Structure 1
Amino acid sequence: MKLESITTFVTVAQSGSLSEAARRLRISRSVVSERLVDLEKELGTSLLQRTTRKVTVTENGTAFLTRAIRILHEVEEATADLAARRGSLSGPLRISAPVTFGRMHLGPALFPFLARHPEIQMTLDLNDRRVDAAADGYDAVIRHGPIPDSFLVAWEIATSRRILVASPAYLMQHTKPTSLAELEGHRGIFYAHRGGGDWRFVQNGHKKVVHGQSALVLNNGDMMRDAAIAGLGIALLPVFIISSAVRDGSLIMIDIGLTPEQEFIYIAHPDGRNPSAKLRAMAVWLKDTFGSPPYWETEFDEHLTS
């Protein structure tokens, strides 16, 4: 069984087209067909159902696909580990990360790392939806929030402080809250992937949950900040998103005497999968680049005290 045939099958299954697979692999469509025929003969079963309009994976093909992806991943990682033993990092690295953090901080931190290791072929998917790292084929996901209990192994790369904020216009129309009880009566702008209707704080080691009046539920931090600036309600957002708006007066900080629940920037990879040398190196690089506390919080605190 040839690896090039397995690679071709996986590419066809993921793209849904022999022509698209040929384009991605930079080979002719006839070579794609020949490799698929050879693989099906070797396995003694049909892996794909071909029609004039589309290609679909058969039941046996679906069963084989999961292991085929794993086989290719292991070969890639074995090759990369050998490169690491020679003192270089190489091979593919597929990462998912949130849009706002990716644009503002992850990209600028990653570009020097990739320039230093040009043999790494990184695919960075910026998406605010919660992905399944293993099923969706990611080597790891970078996320912002509380570190969850899951089938992922998480590495903290930075802490993330959050602050309650609202626009001057909103606070002129409503009494500025100074306690949990007063906060409960306010309109809130909430993050869709984290409850979508409450704020969480810590008081004397105990969690306190406040259910605000939902004005808007979003799945993107930039839009949450913009909605708060527009005066739609109060938002609980990380410093890296709201720092510039607080500096220019577009948003006002709100202190109710409690600390929001701790959140982190973290990298998580599927449990049971040995993380590659390049993934470990990237995690160390990001942690060192962001600092402890992270530079965006240090700069924000310096502004507040200046």
Structure 2
Amino acid sequence: MLKLEGIASFVTVVEAGSISEAARRLNLSKSVVSDRLVELERGLGATLLRRTTRKLLLTDEGNAFLDRATRIMREVEEASTDVAERRGRLAGPLRISAPVTFGRMHLGPALYPFLAKHPELELTLDLDDRRVDAAADGYDAVVRHGPLEDSRLVAWQLAPSRRLLVASPAYLDHRGTPASPEQLRHHRGIFYLNRGAADWRLQGKDGTEIVRAPIALRVNNGDMMRDAAEAGLGIALLPTFIAGPSIRRGTLAVVDIGLQAIPESIYIAHPDGRRAPARLRAFAECVRAAIGSPPYWDANGASAPKTRPGEQ
């Protein structure tokens, strides 16, 4: 008789691309995952995976079994979720990817009381600024800032996001404060690496204007962009959820050239075709409530949530 744990291990190995990564996701040893695969293949009387020195390859039988095995695991997860919902509790694993700076500054304070209130939740929060593939990398959802670039995801907005051009007062005293796009082009820029070209895309009454400037730094982390701007390296376009505290302290000043950054969103997205479990919906509502409307970092200069996380 086939065991569910063997089917789960097989599906996870295929999704992860290796036994070692599957073992990490399942919080098991490699030997346990390997033993489960062997037992599953023995029960089916077929080889599902061919192991080479570099990778695992699905056999024809493995490929045929994978589709049904994936559906089985999805049905089991949904059934488990239904039972938990009927009992009025949140339980089970939840794997979320989020940006480093937003996660450290805002997700953590929102989630600690939430997790304390729901001790049967098993949250894995992977803070990484790279763009991950939610389904292929085994995430239930991703929290992201900016445009939604993957049509395979279903997104819920957590909050709108404003971005401002900022620089240190010392930098502006030394180089002068630009008051127009033309003047901005002569300043050194601190740019976010994953956004492609070294430019700022800004909006005015005449539409979008692209302003290019010499590069002082390109980096894929908001904390470092803020720190570089505070150190006087140049001008950065930063979301207020990062720059707000520095603006209030006076270590960064807003640069107004008569144009605004294109509006963006902070959102949580899950793979299309999957039912969002109650624990994921509760996670999103917890974060949304903690951020508030308007976001607490934009509301009257506040620096802490108006609605404390976990009070819903």
Give TM class, smaller chain.
0.7 to 0.9
Q: Is the 8 A contact 2:194 2:220 kept in 1?
A: yes
Q: How far did 1:277 drift? A: 1.4
Residues 128 and 278 (structure 1 numbering): CA distance in 2 closer, same or farther, change over 3 Å? same
Partner of 1:58: 57
Q: Is the 8 A contact 1:152 1:270 kept in 2?
A: yes
Counterpart residue type for residue 24 of structure 1: N
For residues 111-165 of structure 1, give each alpha carbon's deviation from its aligned partner in whole angstroms, at most 9, with x where no partner exists: 1111222211111100000001111111110011134462211111111111111
Residues 174 and 58 (structure 1 numbering): CA distance in 2 closer, same or farther, change over 3 Å? same
Partner of 2:306: none
Counterpart residue type for residue 271 of structure 2: P
Partner of 2:212: 211
SS in 2 for 1:6: helix
Within-5 A mapping of 1:166-181: 166-181=167-182
Q: Is the 8 A contact 2:226 2:238 kept in 1?
A: yes
Q: Does 1:157 align with 2:154?
A: no
Distance 1:67 1:137 in 2: 18
Any gaps of 5 or more consecutive residues in structure 2?
A: 304-312
Partner of 1:112: 113
Distance 1:223 1:38 in 2: 49
Partner of 2:291: 290
Distance 1:130 1:36 in 2: 31
Distance 1:227 1:108 in 2: 25
Identity in percent = 59
Distance 1:134 1:11 in 2: 11
Residues 43 and 184 (structure 1 numbering): CA distance in 2 closer, same or farther, change over 3 Å? farther
Partner of 1:252: 253
Residues 135 and 173 (structure 1 numbering): CA distance in 2 closer, same or farther, change over 3 Å? same
Q: How far did 1:58 drift? A: 2.5
For residues 25-47 of structure 1, give each alpha carbon's deviation from its aligned partner in whole angstroms, at most 9, with x where no partner exists: 47x94x65553333113444323
Distance 1:137 1:194 in 2: 24
Partner of 2:231: 230
Q: How far did 1:296 drift? A: 1.2
Q: Is the 8 A contact 2:188 2:214 kept in 1?
A: yes
Q: Is the 8 A contact 1:49 1:55 kept in 2?
A: no
Distance 2:20 2:244 in 1: 46
Q: Is the 8 A contact 2:296 2:302 kept in 1?
A: no
SS in 2 for 1:228: helix
Partner of 1:16: 19
Distance 1:59 1:127 in 2: 30
Q: How far did 1:12 drift? A: 5.8
Q: Point out the more displaced range, 157-166 or 145-154.
A: 145-154
Residues 122 and 169 (structure 1 numbering): CA distance in 2 closer, same or farther, change over 3 Å? same
Distance 1:196 1:247 in 2: 30
Q: Does 1:140 align with 2:137?
A: no
Q: How far did 1:266 drift? A: 0.6
Q: Is the 8 A contact 2:167 2:230 kept in 1?
A: yes
Within-5 A mapping of 1:5-154: 5-10=6-11, 14=16, 16-17=19-20, 24-25=27-28, 29=31, 34-49=35-50, 56-60=55-59, 63=63, 68=69, 71-148=72-149, 150-154=151-155
SS in 1 for 2:273: coil
Partner of 2:282: 281
Counterpart residue type for residue 9 of structure 1: F
Q: How far did 1:70 drift? A: 5.6
Distance 2:265 2:180 in 1: 25
Counterpart residue type for residue 19 of structure 2: G
For residues 225-263 of structure 1, give each alpha carbon's deviation from its aligned partner in whole angstroms, at most 9, with x where no partner exists: 011111111001011211222223221111112221101
Q: Is the 8 A contact 2:162 2:263 kept in 1?
A: yes
Any gaps of 5 or more consecutive residues in structure 1?
A: none
SS in 1 for 2:299: helix
Distance 1:33 1:169 in 2: 59
Distance 2:224 2:71 in 1: 37
Distance 1:32 1:253 in 2: 54
Q: How far did 1:3 drift? A: 0.8
Number of residues paired by the alignment?
A: 297
Counterpart residue type for residue 57 of structure 1: L
Q: How far did 1:96 drift? A: 0.4
Residues 144 and 283 (structure 1 numbering): CA distance in 2 closer, same or farther, change over 3 Å? same
Residues 290 and 250 (structure 1 numbering): CA distance in 2 closer, same or farther, change over 3 Å? same
SS in 1 for 2:177: coil
Distance 2:67 2:179 in 1: 54
